[in-house]
């Protein structure tokens, strides 16, 4: 049995939407000078012949904004676990330049890793029109972020995820964030009997990431893990259910009840902070202390108007401590990215 925290989390990662009546508390609006600094850094690195993501923080110098981003890093790692940076205007830049700007900003918040089997460092979160069976893309190896479907609260397979809104949908697509540690506190309070099954660990389905429909994590990954005095979370309900099936060890009734209760709790209005990202908004989330979600959306007909977010996955080995059993989420080693296959 793993070590289990039996008392509530009391640090600032455990919050509820009511704690933030004003979005200004979690929004950083860039000044004209800071935006100019980002543009200068972009021009400098392009002048060196760099035409895509993959460069280091030192190659994207932000002498004034950098210290501010260091403070954002601390907030993501040790504070509330999320932040929105606002001020860029996507229409002013080529899409490839936006990808490089996102990458450059991201290197002040972590180290970028490959996030899909295509080998991309910056992914395109949009409806790619990929065929899927019914309403469950996982059964066809299609990742939800490549569809227009509702994406309930979950975590990604990295330490920190960043999403930059380029274009909004015609309707829908609102984003939301949930504190995983506040979830822990609520389950501890209302259903303490479900804490142990959530901490035991599950084989997680990773077939949509790898392209092999039988792939699951080689290790059992807990939904909650207690390590060095801190709680971390890894949750995707459907991946847990499919992982159990593929491992040949179907979920026990108690495990199913636990992950169902977790889902229901994460959707409660008093747990879920809703935010409507505007073009240029850069949302940063700690995947260990927050979950994120997206509402179903209906898109524009024109290809150049369709909803688009750019996504970066980052690791932070020097940041918030994470339990070892949560570090190999893709069978590529501790904090490894997706193995590119094409």
Q: Which domain holds residue 146?
A: 17-326
Q: What pLDDT, in 10s, does the model give residues 78-125?
A: 999 999 999 999 999 999 999 999 999 999 999 999 999 899 999 999
**Which residues does residue 312 pair with via DSSP β-bridges, in sequence order?**
122, 162
Identify any residues that bridge with 293 across adjacent strands, giving them in sequence order.
Answer: 176
> Is pLDDT at 175 greater than 90 in this prediction?
yes
Q: What is the DSSP-derived secondary structure letter of residue 112? A: E
Is 295 within the bounds of a domain?
A: yes
Task: Enumerate residues 6+ apart whose C-beta is below 8 A from 268.
Answer: none
Written as one string, the DSSP assignment of 145-167 is: GGSSS-EEEE--SSSEEEEEEEE
Q: Confirm if 298 and 172 have CB atoms less than 8 A apart.
A: yes
d(CA 115, CA 128) in angstroms, rounded, equals 16
* pLDDT given for residue 100 in this prediction: 98
What digits encode the pLDDT tens for the residues 40-75? 999 999 999 999 999 999 999 999 999 999 999 999
CA angle 287, 200, 141 (to 5 degrees): 55
**CA–CA dist 51, 100 (Å, integer):** 8
Tell me which residue has tokens 């970028």. Answer: 112
Q: Is 340 among the domain residues?
A: no
Number of folded domains that form the chain: 1
- Which run of H or of E encompasses 35? helix 32-47
C-beta neighbour count of 190 within 10 angstroms: 10
250 in a structural domain: yes
Q: Report residue 146's pLDDT band, with 50, 70 and 90 as the boundaries.
A: confident
| Mean model confidence pLDDT for the chain | 95
Any domain includes 6: no
In-domain check, residue 11? no
pLDDT of 132: 62
CATH, residue 58: 3.60.130.10
Contact 297, 148 (CB under 8 A): yes
pTM to 2 decimal places: 0.95
Residue 280 lies inside a defined structural domain of this protein:
yes
Q: How confident is the model at residue 190 (pLDDT cuts 50, 70, 90)?
A: very high
Cβ atoms of 102 and 282 closer than 8 Å: yes
**pLDDT band, very low/low/confident/very high, at 134 (cuts 50, 70, 90):** low
- For 31, which DSSP code? P
**Region 206-224 average pLDDT:** 94
Q: What is the pLDDT of residues 263-322, one digit of tens each?
A: 999 999 999 999 999 999 999 999 999 999 999 999 999 999 999 999 999 999 999 999
Q: Residue 129 above 90 pLDDT? A: no
Q: Is the dihedral of CA 95, 101, 102, 107 positive or negative?
A: positive
- How far is 134 from 110, CA to CA, in rounded Å? 37
* Coil/strand/helix, residue 113: strand
Structure tokens at 58: 């030192």
In 3D space, the residue among 173, 168, 162 whose CA is nearest the CA of residue 282 turns out to be: 162
Give DSSP secondary structure letters for 195-258. Answer: HHHHHH-B--B-HHHHS-TT-B-SS-B-SEEEETTEEEE---HHHHHHHHHHHT-PPPHHHHHH
- Whether the per-residue pLDDT at 144 is higher than 90: the answer is no
Confidence of residue 141 (pLDDT cuts 50, 70, 90): confident
Q: Are 262 and 198 in contact (CB under 8 A)?
A: yes
Judge whether 45 lies within some domain.
Answer: yes
Measured between alpha carbons, how far is 35 from 55 in angstroms, rounded to an integer? 19
Split at pLDDT 50, 70, 90, the class of 135 is: low
Which pLDDT score, from 0 to 100, does residue 136 have? 76
The whole-angstrom separation of Cα 295 and Cα 291 is 14
The percentage of residues in the chain with a pLDDT greater than 70, rounded to a whole number, is 98
């Amino acid at each position: 049995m793993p070590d289990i925290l039996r008392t509530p989390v009391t640090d600032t990662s455990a919050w509820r939407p009511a704690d933030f009546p004003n979005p200004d508390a979690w929004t950083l609006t860039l000044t004209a000078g800071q935006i100019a600094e980002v543009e200068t850094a972009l021009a400098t690195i392009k002048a060196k012949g760099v035409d895509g993501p993959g460069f280091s923080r030192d190659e994207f110098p932000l002498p004034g904004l950098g210290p501010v981003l260091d403070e954002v890093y601390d907030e993501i790692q040790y504070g509330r676990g999320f932040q929105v940076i606002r001020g860029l205007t996507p229409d002013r830049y080529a899409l490839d330049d936006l990808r490089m700007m996102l990458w450059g900003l991201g290197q002040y918040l972590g180290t970028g890793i490959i996030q899909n089997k295509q080998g991309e460092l910056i992914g395109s979160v949009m409806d790619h029109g990929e065929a899927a069976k019914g309403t469950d893309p996982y059964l066809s190896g299609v990742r939800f972020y490549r569809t227009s479907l509702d994406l309930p609260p979950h975590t990604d397979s990295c330490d920190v995820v960043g999403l930059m809104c380029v274009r909004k949908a015609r309707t829908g697509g609102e984003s939301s964030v949930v504190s995983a540690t506040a979830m822990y506190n609520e389950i501890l309070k209302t259903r303490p009997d479900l804490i142990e099954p959530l901490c035991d660990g599950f084989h997680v389905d990773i077939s949509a990431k790898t392209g092999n429909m039988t792939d699951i994590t080689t290790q059992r990954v807990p939904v909650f893990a207690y390590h060095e005095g801190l709680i971390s979370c890894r949750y995707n309900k459907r991946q847990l259910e499919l992982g159990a099936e593929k491992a040949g060890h179907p979920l026990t009734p108690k495990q199913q009840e636990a992950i169902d209760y977790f889902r229901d709790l994460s959707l409660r209005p008093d747990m879920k902070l809703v935010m409507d990202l505007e073009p240029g908004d850069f949302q940063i989330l700690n995947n260990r202390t927050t979950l994120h979600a997206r509402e179903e959306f209906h898109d524009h007909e024109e290809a150049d108007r369709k909803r688009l977010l750019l996504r970066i996955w980052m690791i932070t080995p020097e940041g918030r401590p994470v339990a070892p059993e949560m570090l190999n989420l893709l069978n590529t080693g501790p904090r490894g990215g997706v193995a590119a296959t094409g």
